Structure 1
Amino acid sequence: MTFICSWWRQVTDPPHQKPAYAMVYVVTALTGLVTLMVPPKSIEGAIGPILMLLIGALWCAGGVLAFVTLFSRWWWLERLSLAVAALGTVLYGSVVAMLHVQAEGSRLTQLGIVILSLLLYLVRWISIRQWSYAPPDKE
Protein backbone atom coordinates (compact mmCIF):
# COMPACT_ATOMS: atom_id res chain seq x y z
CA MET A 1 0.00 0.00 0.00
CA THR A 2 2.92 2.34 0.72
CA PHE A 3 4.20 1.84 -2.83
CA ILE A 4 0.81 2.72 -4.31
CA CYS A 5 0.51 5.85 -2.15
CA SER A 6 4.04 6.89 -3.07
CA TRP A 7 3.35 6.33 -6.76
CA TRP A 8 0.07 8.27 -6.61
CA ARG A 9 1.80 11.26 -4.96
CA GLN A 10 4.02 11.50 -8.04
CA VAL A 11 1.03 12.19 -10.24
CA THR A 12 0.99 15.89 -11.05
CA ASP A 13 -1.94 18.21 -11.65
CA PRO A 14 -4.14 17.37 -13.41
CA PRO A 15 -4.22 14.00 -11.67
CA HIS A 16 -4.79 11.96 -14.82
CA GLN A 17 -1.85 13.36 -16.81
CA LYS A 18 0.98 10.94 -15.98
CA PRO A 19 -1.12 7.76 -16.07
CA ALA A 20 -2.55 8.86 -19.43
CA TYR A 21 0.94 9.47 -20.81
CA ALA A 22 2.04 6.12 -19.38
CA MET A 23 -0.61 4.50 -21.57
CA VAL A 24 0.57 6.54 -24.57
CA TYR A 25 4.13 5.35 -24.02
CA VAL A 26 3.06 1.71 -23.59
CA VAL A 27 1.09 1.89 -26.85
CA THR A 28 4.10 3.50 -28.56
CA ALA A 29 6.43 0.72 -27.39
CA LEU A 30 3.97 -2.03 -28.27
CA THR A 31 3.41 -0.52 -31.72
CA GLY A 32 7.16 -0.58 -32.22
CA LEU A 33 7.34 -4.20 -31.10
CA VAL A 34 4.53 -5.25 -33.44
CA THR A 35 6.20 -3.31 -36.25
CA LEU A 36 9.44 -5.18 -35.65
CA MET A 37 7.71 -8.55 -35.51
CA VAL A 38 5.10 -8.13 -38.27
CA PRO A 39 5.85 -5.02 -40.33
CA PRO A 40 3.06 -3.54 -42.47
CA LYS A 41 3.72 -4.85 -45.97
CA SER A 42 2.49 -1.74 -47.81
CA ILE A 43 4.93 0.47 -45.92
CA GLU A 44 7.78 -2.04 -45.89
CA GLY A 45 7.36 -2.56 -49.63
CA ALA A 46 7.76 1.17 -50.22
CA ILE A 47 10.84 1.75 -48.03
CA GLY A 48 12.41 -1.67 -47.52
CA PRO A 49 12.91 -3.85 -44.45
CA ILE A 50 15.85 -1.92 -42.97
CA LEU A 51 14.00 1.40 -42.70
CA MET A 52 10.92 -0.43 -41.43
CA LEU A 53 13.05 -1.98 -38.69
CA LEU A 54 14.43 1.48 -37.88
CA ILE A 55 10.92 2.90 -37.46
CA GLY A 56 9.92 0.00 -35.20
CA ALA A 57 13.10 0.33 -33.16
CA LEU A 58 12.59 4.10 -32.73
CA TRP A 59 9.05 3.52 -31.44
CA CYS A 60 10.19 0.72 -29.11
CA ALA A 61 13.11 2.67 -27.70
CA GLY A 62 11.20 5.94 -27.43
CA GLY A 63 8.17 4.33 -25.79
CA VAL A 64 10.10 2.23 -23.29
CA LEU A 65 12.49 5.01 -22.29
CA ALA A 66 9.68 7.57 -22.02
CA PHE A 67 7.67 5.18 -19.84
CA VAL A 68 10.66 4.51 -17.57
CA THR A 69 11.43 8.21 -17.15
CA LEU A 70 7.82 9.42 -16.86
CA PHE A 71 7.67 8.99 -13.09
CA SER A 72 11.22 10.19 -12.52
CA ARG A 73 12.60 13.71 -12.25
CA TRP A 74 14.63 13.29 -15.47
CA TRP A 75 12.55 15.40 -17.80
CA TRP A 76 15.52 15.89 -20.15
CA LEU A 77 15.56 12.15 -20.77
CA GLU A 78 11.81 12.00 -21.27
CA ARG A 79 12.12 14.82 -23.83
CA LEU A 80 14.83 12.84 -25.63
CA SER A 81 12.55 9.79 -25.60
CA LEU A 82 9.73 11.85 -27.07
CA ALA A 83 12.06 13.01 -29.84
CA VAL A 84 13.05 9.41 -30.61
CA ALA A 85 9.43 8.26 -30.80
CA ALA A 86 8.47 11.34 -32.81
CA LEU A 87 11.28 10.66 -35.30
CA GLY A 88 9.86 7.19 -35.92
CA THR A 89 6.42 8.74 -36.39
CA VAL A 90 7.73 11.39 -38.80
CA LEU A 91 9.46 8.70 -40.88
CA TYR A 92 6.29 6.61 -40.94
CA GLY A 93 4.17 9.67 -41.77
CA SER A 94 6.50 10.62 -44.61
CA VAL A 95 6.04 7.21 -46.19
CA VAL A 96 2.27 7.42 -45.74
CA ALA A 97 2.24 10.87 -47.39
CA MET A 98 4.41 9.59 -50.23
CA LEU A 99 2.09 6.63 -50.79
CA HIS A 100 -0.91 8.93 -50.77
CA VAL A 101 0.59 10.89 -53.64
CA GLN A 102 2.09 7.98 -55.59
CA ALA A 103 -0.19 5.01 -54.99
CA GLU A 104 -3.85 4.41 -55.64
CA GLY A 105 -6.33 5.22 -52.89
CA SER A 106 -6.39 7.63 -50.00
CA ARG A 107 -4.00 7.56 -47.06
CA LEU A 108 -5.41 10.70 -45.44
CA THR A 109 -6.95 8.81 -42.52
CA GLN A 110 -3.58 7.26 -41.68
CA LEU A 111 -1.89 10.62 -42.08
CA GLY A 112 -4.41 12.22 -39.73
CA ILE A 113 -3.69 9.64 -37.03
CA VAL A 114 0.06 10.15 -37.50
CA ILE A 115 -0.38 13.91 -37.04
CA LEU A 116 -2.53 13.35 -33.93
CA SER A 117 0.18 11.19 -32.36
CA LEU A 118 2.83 13.79 -33.15
CA LEU A 119 0.69 16.46 -31.53
CA LEU A 120 0.31 14.30 -28.42
CA TYR A 121 4.10 14.00 -28.13
CA LEU A 122 4.40 17.75 -28.69
CA VAL A 123 1.92 18.59 -25.92
CA ARG A 124 3.91 16.53 -23.42
CA TRP A 125 7.21 18.00 -24.63
CA ILE A 126 5.85 21.54 -24.21
CA SER A 127 4.61 20.79 -20.69
CA ILE A 128 8.08 19.64 -19.52
CA ARG A 129 10.37 21.77 -21.69
CA GLN A 130 11.25 24.38 -19.07
CA TRP A 131 13.38 22.23 -16.81
CA SER A 132 15.93 19.46 -17.19
CA TYR A 133 14.67 17.94 -13.94
CA ALA A 134 11.19 18.09 -12.44
CA PRO A 135 10.87 20.86 -9.88
CA PRO A 136 10.27 19.56 -6.33
CA ASP A 137 6.58 20.48 -6.45
CA LYS A 138 6.14 18.39 -9.65
CA GLU A 139 7.88 15.18 -8.50
Structure 2
Amino acid sequence: MTVLTRLWLRIHQPRVISVLYFLIYLCLASGGLLALLDPPASLAGQIGTAAMSTLSALLTFGGIVGAFAALPGIWWLERTAVLSIGLASALYAIIIFTLHATTPGNRLLQLSFVATVALMQIVRWHRIRVRPYDPDRVPPTV
Protein backbone atom coordinates (compact mmCIF):
# COMPACT_ATOMS: atom_id res chain seq x y z
CA MET A 1 0.00 0.00 0.00
CA THR A 2 1.47 3.36 -1.03
CA VAL A 3 1.88 6.32 1.28
CA LEU A 4 -0.77 8.28 -0.63
CA THR A 5 -3.24 5.42 -0.28
CA ARG A 6 -2.63 5.21 3.46
CA LEU A 7 -3.09 8.96 3.83
CA TRP A 8 -6.28 8.87 1.75
CA LEU A 9 -7.70 6.08 3.93
CA ARG A 10 -7.08 8.16 7.07
CA ILE A 11 -9.40 10.92 5.83
CA HIS A 12 -12.85 10.94 7.42
CA GLN A 13 -15.72 9.49 5.35
CA PRO A 14 -17.07 10.66 2.98
CA ARG A 15 -13.54 11.53 1.89
CA VAL A 16 -14.45 13.73 -1.06
CA ILE A 17 -16.62 15.95 1.17
CA SER A 18 -13.90 16.14 3.83
CA VAL A 19 -11.27 17.14 1.25
CA LEU A 20 -13.56 19.72 -0.34
CA TYR A 21 -14.35 21.27 3.03
CA PHE A 22 -10.63 21.29 3.85
CA LEU A 23 -10.03 23.27 0.63
CA ILE A 24 -12.94 25.62 1.39
CA TYR A 25 -11.54 26.30 4.85
CA LEU A 26 -8.08 26.96 3.40
CA CYS A 27 -9.56 29.47 0.94
CA LEU A 28 -11.45 31.24 3.72
CA ALA A 29 -8.40 31.28 6.01
CA SER A 30 -6.28 32.70 3.18
CA GLY A 31 -8.81 35.42 2.42
CA GLY A 32 -9.11 36.35 6.08
CA LEU A 33 -5.35 36.42 6.59
CA LEU A 34 -4.77 38.55 3.50
CA ALA A 35 -7.47 40.98 4.68
CA LEU A 36 -5.80 41.13 8.09
CA LEU A 37 -2.43 41.91 6.54
CA ASP A 38 -3.74 44.35 3.93
CA PRO A 39 -7.38 45.35 4.56
CA PRO A 40 -9.42 46.31 1.51
CA ALA A 41 -9.25 50.11 1.52
CA SER A 42 -12.74 50.59 0.09
CA LEU A 43 -14.33 48.53 2.84
CA ALA A 44 -12.06 49.51 5.74
CA GLY A 45 -12.61 53.17 4.86
CA GLN A 46 -16.36 52.68 5.18
CA ILE A 47 -16.59 50.50 8.29
CA GLY A 48 -13.32 51.29 10.07
CA THR A 49 -10.18 49.26 10.59
CA ALA A 50 -11.33 47.74 13.89
CA ALA A 51 -14.47 46.26 12.31
CA MET A 52 -12.50 45.06 9.30
CA SER A 53 -9.90 43.45 11.55
CA THR A 54 -12.60 41.71 13.59
CA LEU A 55 -14.29 40.35 10.49
CA SER A 56 -10.94 39.20 9.04
CA ALA A 57 -9.86 37.60 12.33
CA LEU A 58 -13.13 35.64 12.57
CA LEU A 59 -12.67 34.39 9.03
CA THR A 60 -9.00 33.50 9.54
CA PHE A 61 -9.68 31.71 12.83
CA GLY A 62 -12.62 29.77 11.40
CA GLY A 63 -10.70 28.80 8.30
CA ILE A 64 -7.65 27.55 10.21
CA VAL A 65 -9.69 25.62 12.76
CA GLY A 66 -11.93 24.18 10.04
CA ALA A 67 -8.99 23.07 7.89
CA PHE A 68 -7.45 21.38 10.91
CA ALA A 69 -10.72 19.61 11.78
CA ALA A 70 -12.12 18.68 8.35
CA LEU A 71 -9.80 15.88 7.22
CA PRO A 72 -9.80 13.80 10.42
CA GLY A 73 -13.48 14.56 11.05
CA ILE A 74 -13.15 16.32 14.39
CA TRP A 75 -16.80 17.36 14.32
CA TRP A 76 -16.89 19.11 17.73
CA LEU A 77 -13.97 21.35 16.74
CA GLU A 78 -15.37 22.05 13.29
CA ARG A 79 -18.51 23.47 14.92
CA THR A 80 -16.33 26.31 16.26
CA ALA A 81 -15.09 26.98 12.73
CA VAL A 82 -18.61 26.97 11.31
CA LEU A 83 -19.81 29.45 13.94
CA SER A 84 -16.84 31.76 13.36
CA ILE A 85 -17.19 31.73 9.57
CA GLY A 86 -20.96 32.02 9.81
CA LEU A 87 -20.66 35.09 12.03
CA ALA A 88 -18.05 36.66 9.75
CA SER A 89 -20.15 36.08 6.65
CA ALA A 90 -23.31 37.42 8.32
CA LEU A 91 -21.47 40.57 9.41
CA TYR A 92 -19.99 40.96 5.95
CA ALA A 93 -23.41 40.52 4.33
CA ILE A 94 -24.88 43.21 6.61
CA ILE A 95 -22.02 45.56 5.74
CA ILE A 96 -22.44 44.94 2.01
CA PHE A 97 -26.20 45.46 2.20
CA THR A 98 -25.76 48.68 4.18
CA LEU A 99 -23.22 49.98 1.68
CA HIS A 100 -25.50 49.00 -1.20
CA ALA A 101 -28.37 50.93 0.37
CA THR A 102 -26.36 54.01 1.35
CA THR A 103 -23.73 54.47 -1.36
CA PRO A 104 -23.90 54.56 -5.15
CA GLY A 105 -23.27 51.36 -7.07
CA ASN A 106 -24.58 47.84 -7.18
CA ARG A 107 -23.18 45.42 -4.59
CA LEU A 108 -25.81 42.72 -5.00
CA LEU A 109 -23.50 40.28 -6.81
CA GLN A 110 -21.02 40.52 -3.94
CA LEU A 111 -23.87 40.15 -1.45
CA SER A 112 -25.16 37.01 -3.19
CA PHE A 113 -21.78 35.29 -2.88
CA VAL A 114 -21.39 36.22 0.78
CA ALA A 115 -24.96 35.15 1.54
CA THR A 116 -24.22 31.81 -0.15
CA VAL A 117 -21.25 31.29 2.18
CA ALA A 118 -23.48 32.08 5.17
CA LEU A 119 -26.14 29.63 3.97
CA MET A 120 -23.52 26.93 3.37
CA GLN A 121 -22.37 27.35 6.96
CA ILE A 122 -25.93 26.67 8.08
CA VAL A 123 -25.92 23.52 5.95
CA ARG A 124 -22.59 22.46 7.42
CA TRP A 125 -23.81 23.16 10.96
CA HIS A 126 -26.79 20.93 10.36
CA ARG A 127 -24.49 18.15 9.12
CA ILE A 128 -22.10 18.32 12.09
CA ARG A 129 -24.29 19.44 14.98
CA VAL A 130 -24.18 15.84 16.17
CA ARG A 131 -21.61 13.22 15.27
CA PRO A 132 -21.83 13.08 11.47
CA TYR A 133 -21.59 10.05 9.24
CA ASP A 134 -21.50 7.65 12.18
CA PRO A 135 -23.29 4.45 11.18
CA ASP A 136 -23.90 3.60 14.84
CA ARG A 137 -25.38 6.99 15.65
CA VAL A 138 -28.97 7.07 16.76
CA PRO A 139 -30.78 9.60 14.56
CA PRO A 140 -32.18 12.65 16.37
CA THR A 141 -35.89 12.39 17.12
CA VAL A 142 -36.59 16.11 16.70
| Global fold match (TM > 0.5) | yes
Equivalence for 1:75: 75
> Matched residue pairs, number?
136
Equivalence for 1:105: 105
What aligned pairs does 1:28-107 form with structure 2 within 5 A after superposition?
28-107=28-107
1:136 and 1:69 mapped to 2: Cα distance? Answer: 20
Ranges in structure 2 where 5+ consecutive residues have no aligned partner: 138-142
1:120 aligns with 2:120: yes
1:135 aligns with 2:137: no
Q: 1:11 to 1:4 in 2, by over 3 A?
A: farther
Percent identity of equivalent pairs: 32
Q: Secondary structure at the match of 1:12?
A: coil
TM-score by length of 1: 0.86
Q: Is the 8 A contact 2:63 2:81 kept in 1?
A: yes
Cα shift at 1:135: 3.4
Cα shift at 1:5: 2.6
Cα shift at 1:122: 2.0
Q: 1:17 to 1:48 in 2, by over 3 A?
A: same
TM-score by length of 2: 0.85
2:136 and 2:5 mapped to 1: Cα distance? Answer: 16
2:21 and 2:3 mapped to 1: Cα distance? Answer: 20
Ranges in structure 1 where 5+ consecutive residues have no aligned partner: none
Cα shift at 1:136: 7.2
Q: 1:120 to 1:6 in 2, by over 3 A?
A: farther
Larger displacement relative to structure 2 (38-47 or 56-65): 38-47
2:118 and 2:39 mapped to 1: Cα distance? Answer: 20
2:6 and 2:126 mapped to 1: Cα distance? Answer: 26
1:119 and 1:60 mapped to 2: Cα distance? Answer: 18
Q: Secondary structure at the match of 1:16?
A: helix
